[in-house]
A and B are shown apart, each in its own frame.
Chain A
Amino acid sequence: MAEELFQEIRQVDRLVHEPARLAILAVLYGVEEADFLYLLRTTGLTKGNLSAHLAKLEAAGYVEVRKRFLGKKPNTVCRLTPEGRQAFERYLTWLKRLARNLG
Chain B
Amino acid sequence: MAAEASRTPQVQEMMRRARSAWWEDGITEIVSGLGLLILGFLGFQKEMLPAPRNMGWQLAWTVWLGVFIVGGNLLIRRLKARYVWPVAGYATPRQDRDWRWAGAFFLTLILLVVVAAWNPPHFGAAIAGLPLFIFLLALYRYTRLRRFLVIGTLALVEGLVLALFPLNATAALHLILGTIGLFFCFSGLWNWLRFRRRLQEAPHG
- Give the docked Cα–Cα distance between A9 and B8 (Å): 21
Partner of B11, one of A26, A33, A75, A90: A26
Determine if B81 is an interface residue (Cβ-Cβ < 8 Å): yes
**What's the A-B contact tally at a CB cutoff of 8 Å?**
87
Tally of contact residues, B, Cβ under 8 A: 30
Given contacts A29-B11, A30-B18, contact A71 B81 (CB under 8 A): yes
Contact B85 A35 (CB under 8 A): yes
Contact A30 B17 (CB under 8 A): yes
Contact A89 B89 (CB under 8 A): no
In the complex formed, the residue of B with least CB distance to A34 is B91
Given contacts A26-B11, A30-B18, contact A35 B91 (CB under 8 A): yes
Determine if B72 is an interface residue (Cβ-Cβ < 8 Å): no
Nearest CB of chain B from residue A55's CB, rounded to whole Å: 19
Contact B204 A42 (CB under 8 A): no
Those of A51-100 within 8 Å (CB) of chain B: 70-71, 73, 75, 77, 85, 88-90, 92-93
Determine if B86 is an interface residue (Cβ-Cβ < 8 Å): yes
Determine if A14 is an interface residue (Cβ-Cβ < 8 Å): no
Q: At the interface, is chain A mostly helix, strand, loop or mixed?
A: helix
Q: Which B residues are CB-close (under 8 A) to A20?
A: none
- Give the docked Cα–Cα distance between A36 and B86 (Å): 10
Determine if B14 is an interface residue (Cβ-Cβ < 8 Å): yes
Contact A42 B14 (CB under 8 A): yes
- Give the docked Cα–Cα distance between A100 and B165 (Å): 63
Contact with A along B15-38 (1 / 0, CB 8 A): 111100100000000000000000
Determine if B1 is an interface residue (Cβ-Cβ < 8 Å): yes
- Give the docked Cα–Cα distance between A35 and B21 (Å): 13
Contact A71 B86 (CB under 8 A): yes
Interface residues of B (CB under 8 A from A): 1-2, 4-5, 8, 10-18, 21, 81-82, 85-95, 204-205
8 additional A-B residue pairs with CB within 8 Å, beyond A30-B18, A85-B2? A29-B11, A29-B14, A31-B94, A34-B91, A37-B85, A37-B90, A41-B88, A71-B81
Q: List 22 A-B contacts (CB under 8 A).
A: A29-B11, A30-B11, A30-B13, A30-B15, A30-B17, A30-B94, A31-B18, A31-B91, A32-B94, A34-B90, A35-B89, A36-B89, A37-B89, A38-B21, A38-B90, A70-B86, A75-B85, A77-B90, A89-B1, A89-B4, A92-B4, A93-B1
